[in-house]
Amino acid sequence: MCGIVGYIGPKDACPILLKGLHRLEYRGYDSAGVALINNNGSLSVYKSKGKVADLESHIAGKDISGTIGVAHTRWATHGEPNSQNAHPHYSQSRNLALIHNGIIENYKPLKQEMMNHGKVFKSETDTEVLIQFIEYIKELHGCNLFEAVQLALKNVVGAYAIVVIDKDNPNRLIAARKGSPLVIGVGNNEFYIGSDATPIIEYTNKVVYLGEEEIAEMNRQGDLTIVNLENVKQTPIVKTVEMNLSDIEKADFPHYMLKEIFEQPDALFNSMKGRLNIEQKDVLLSGIIDYKDEILKAERIIICACGTSWHAGLIGKYIIEELTRIPVEVEYSSEFRYRNPVVTDKDLVIAISQSGETADTLAAIQLAKDKGAFLYGICNVVGSSIPRATDTGSYLHIGPEIGVASTKAFTAQVTTLMLMALSIAKLRGTITKEYFEELVEELYAIPEKIKKTMELNEKISKYSKIFTYARNFIYLGRGYNYPIALEGALKLKEISYIHAEGYPSAEMKHGPIALIDEEMPVVVIAPAHSKYEKILSNVQEIKARKGKIISVITEGDTAIKELSDIYFEIPATMDCFTPLLTIVPLQLISYYIAIAKGRDVDQPRNLAKSVTVE
């Protein structure tokens, strides 16, 4: 949440900062701002409500000179989205400027204390409290900015990634983090800062991931000094990021979301590469093989995640239980962390998170760790907090996901859980060799089958427009496709703002059927499998009440096809792999309905890609 960019070096900072903001805009987009130490020595802060494009119009004609600066794109926590509350924030003297991602929990008493010392506030934000406090400490102790930041942060409760600049010292940039991510790009006598590597990679692939409670100082001589809050020097570990510019650009697609939907065949192929060996019909997941004993010891698996990642976890439960016979519980991280759950050292806890930064999931695994569980992370963003906090895990290897609505990360998370289920089942000997090999072969065929499913694109784009009238949608699925009903409904809600609910189809008659009338579109996910006949009866019940039926069925289906107003056919596959195909038309339906309604699909209102606040 919130995008942070910083630069110090020989180049003009402003174009770098604005480009960086565009790259990070998916993290928050209700307001944006930039602070620059201009060539004449003044510290200018420009801010505006709305998107980065609005900020660009706002600064036109103003002094944007300077080779050091910071910039921010906001997802509001404290205070409504307006230009006063946008970052950067000045200190009282206007000598310092700060950008911040996170929440300062004790901002109220700190604000009161600062007001008692005569500080005047211009915004409602916790961030302005922090910069006032830093300046107060600096003045009180007569210390430099680095020391003042260090001292101030010792008194701060909460999460933060911050970058600060000082008008009187245009040769250094100070950054710090706790709980929120911060990446430093290392160039030639220059440094770039980002909430993640996306604003950095076009300049350098050498990065340092700032650690928890670390403070960094960067100067124009190319020196990077890192200490922790206790002032113990830390050695910066420079890593190489494997990300290409093409991974973070839209190419010929109108939106990241559509690009990412279409990337799924390649994404899943990459997720399986080196893990699923088709010649030997085997699965080699190093996250499991390297910790075989710990994994085999597990008497129970608990999956913690939020949102779409939680839906992936639910599919994980179905397949892990089916193949390994280990009981699996799927928990919303936000509930798990606050309800004193029963967790022991016989539990394996799997944290699923695209961003690897979701605050609730991070807290959930911390709690599980304290209770002795073994931790496995399934994440996409390399070097993010969850992979660093877990004992082992698997990266998705699908490249950055930028569209706010998760698509390729979801199918890759499901694929990774399937690989895990296969690996553990093999180790435990809970399925036959023949069945194992059949599953391996079919999983390997899935990317091609997704490609085939993509051929529905035109049909979906044509028919989706019909449903822009709808104010509600119902999604129904059973077994492996019940989580797909939830995920389909979430996709529609978040990007089209149409209310939608997902249900296990047999639950209809226990209440939701009262909603059905000739206006209600009902999406039925009904691939040809063991529960097919049951779903067929549910479809008949809806038809009898004049609901509009949109079905996702297997090629060759006749019964549900006949009852459907619109149907989308997917290739046949084994029951447990159907979610990887059935979700694709649902992603496209949401996309095209949202487009037809004129929504901003890549940046839907009120949302942000990386939820680093609880």
Note whether 190 binds ligand F6R by CB under 6 A: no
Task: Give 211-256 as a DSSP string.
Answer: PTTEEEEEETTS-EEEEETT--EE----EE----GGGGS-TT-SSH
Residues contacting residue 331 through CB under 8 Å, at least 6 positions apart: 302, 303, 304, 305, 341, 364
Of 392 and 406, which CB lies nearer to ligand F6R in the complex structure? 406
What minimum distance in Å lies between the beta carbon of 365 and ligand F6R?
Answer: 11
Of 431 and 580, which CB lies nearer to ligand F6R in the complex structure? 580
Q: Is 576 a catalytic residue?
A: no
- Backbone dihedral angles phi then psi of residue 596, each to the nearest 5 degrees: -60, -30
Say how far apart CA 614 and CA 611 lie, in whole Å. 7
Q: Identify residue 210 by its one-letter amino acid code.
A: L
Q: Identify residue 313 by its one-letter amino acid code.
A: G
Number of residues that bind ligand F6R (CB under 6 A): 14
Q: Report which secondary-structure segment, H or E, holds 14.
A: helix 13-24
Residue ranges of E strands in 360-436: 374-379, 392-395
Say how far apart CA 387 and CA 391 lie, in whole Å. 8
What minimum distance in Å lies between the beta carbon of 355 and ligand F6R?
Answer: 3
Of 135 and 494, which CB lies nearer to ligand F6R in the complex structure? 494
- Contact segment (CB under 6 A) with ligand F6R among 24-32, 149-157, 184-192, 354-362 equals 354-362
What angle is formed at CA 332 by the lines to CA 360 and CA 322, rounded to 5 degrees? 135
Note whether 355 binds ligand F6R by CB under 6 A: yes
Note whether 405 binds ligand F6R by CB under 6 A: yes
Tokens at 377, concatenated: 């992370």
Note whether 77 binds ligand F6R by CB under 6 A: no
What minimum distance in Å lies between the beta carbon of 393 and ligand F6R?
Answer: 13
- Contact segment (CB under 6 A) with ligand F6R among 29-37, 98-106, 291-299, 302-310 equals 302-310
Of 207 and 611, which CB lies nearer to ligand F6R in the complex structure? 611
What minimum distance in Å lies between the beta carbon of 483 and ligand F6R?
Answer: 13
Note whether 406 binds ligand F6R by CB under 6 A: yes
Residues contacting residue 458 through CB under 8 Å, at least 6 positions apart: none
Note whether 494 binds ligand F6R by CB under 6 A: yes
Of 354 and 505, which CB lies nearer to ligand F6R in the complex structure? 354
- Beta strands 31-37; 68-74: pairing state: antiparallel
Note whether 354 binds ligand F6R by CB under 6 A: yes
Rounded to the nearest 10 degrees, how much is the dihedral formed by the CA atoms of 408, 413, 414, 416?
120
Candidate list 111, 138, 259, 609, residue with the active-site label: 609
- CB contact at 8 A, 610 and 402: no
Instruction: Using only the alpha carbons of the chain, give its radius of gyration.
Output: 25
Residues contacting residue 487 through CB under 8 Å, at least 6 positions apart: 308, 311, 410, 502, 583, 586
Query: What mask, x for binding ligand F6R by CB under 6 A, covers residues 305 to 324?
Result: -xxxx---------------
In 3D space, the residue among 308, 304, 352 whose CA is nearest the CA of residue 328 turns out to be: 304
What minimum distance in Å lies between the beta carbon of 412 and ligand F6R?
Answer: 11
Say how far apart CA 72 and CA 289 lie, in whole Å. 42
Note whether 415 binds ligand F6R by CB under 6 A: no
Of 172 and 491, which CB lies nearer to ligand F6R in the complex structure? 491
Of 423 and 612, which CB lies nearer to ligand F6R in the complex structure? 612
What minimum distance in Å lies between the beta carbon of 611 and ligand F6R?
Answer: 5
- Contact segment (CB under 6 A) with ligand F6R among 150-158, 218-226, 350-358, 456-464 equals 350-358
Contact set for ligand F6R, span 98-157 (CB under 6 A): none
- Contact segment (CB under 6 A) with ligand F6R among 351-359, 438-446, 452-460, 581-589 equals 351-359
Longest Cα separation, the chain: 80
Note whether 85 binds ligand F6R by CB under 6 A: no
Member of 67, 150, 180, 361 binding ligand F6R (CB under 6 A) = 361
Residue ranges of E strands in 124-212: 158-166, 172-178, 183-186, 191-194, 206-209
What minimum distance in Å lies between the beta carbon of 357 and ligand F6R?
Answer: 7
In 3D space, the residue among 498, 456, 522, 455 whose CA is nearest the CA of residue 596 turns out to be: 498
Contact set for ligand F6R, span 434-493 (CB under 6 A): 490
Q: Is 2 a catalytic residue?
A: yes
What minimum distance in Å lies between the beta carbon of 332 and ligand F6R?
Answer: 10
CB-nearest residue to ligand F6R: 307
Member of 123, 125, 353, 505 binding ligand F6R (CB under 6 A) = 353
Candidate list 2, 304, 306, 576, residue with the active-site label: 2
Member of 163, 373, 526, 611 binding ligand F6R (CB under 6 A) = 611
What minimum distance in Å lies between the beta carbon of 354 and ligand F6R?
Answer: 4
Q: How many CB atoms lie within 10 A of CB 466?
A: 15
Say how far apart CA 54 and CA 436 lie, in whole Å. 55
Of 123 and 353, which CB lies nearer to ligand F6R in the complex structure? 353
What minimum distance in Å lies between the beta carbon of 405 and ligand F6R?
Answer: 4
* HEC string for 70-91: EEEEECCCCCCCCCCCCCCEEC
Which residues are marked as active site?
A: 2, 609
Where along the sequence are the contacts to ligand F6R (CB under 6 A)? 306-309, 353-355, 358, 361, 405-406, 490, 494, 611
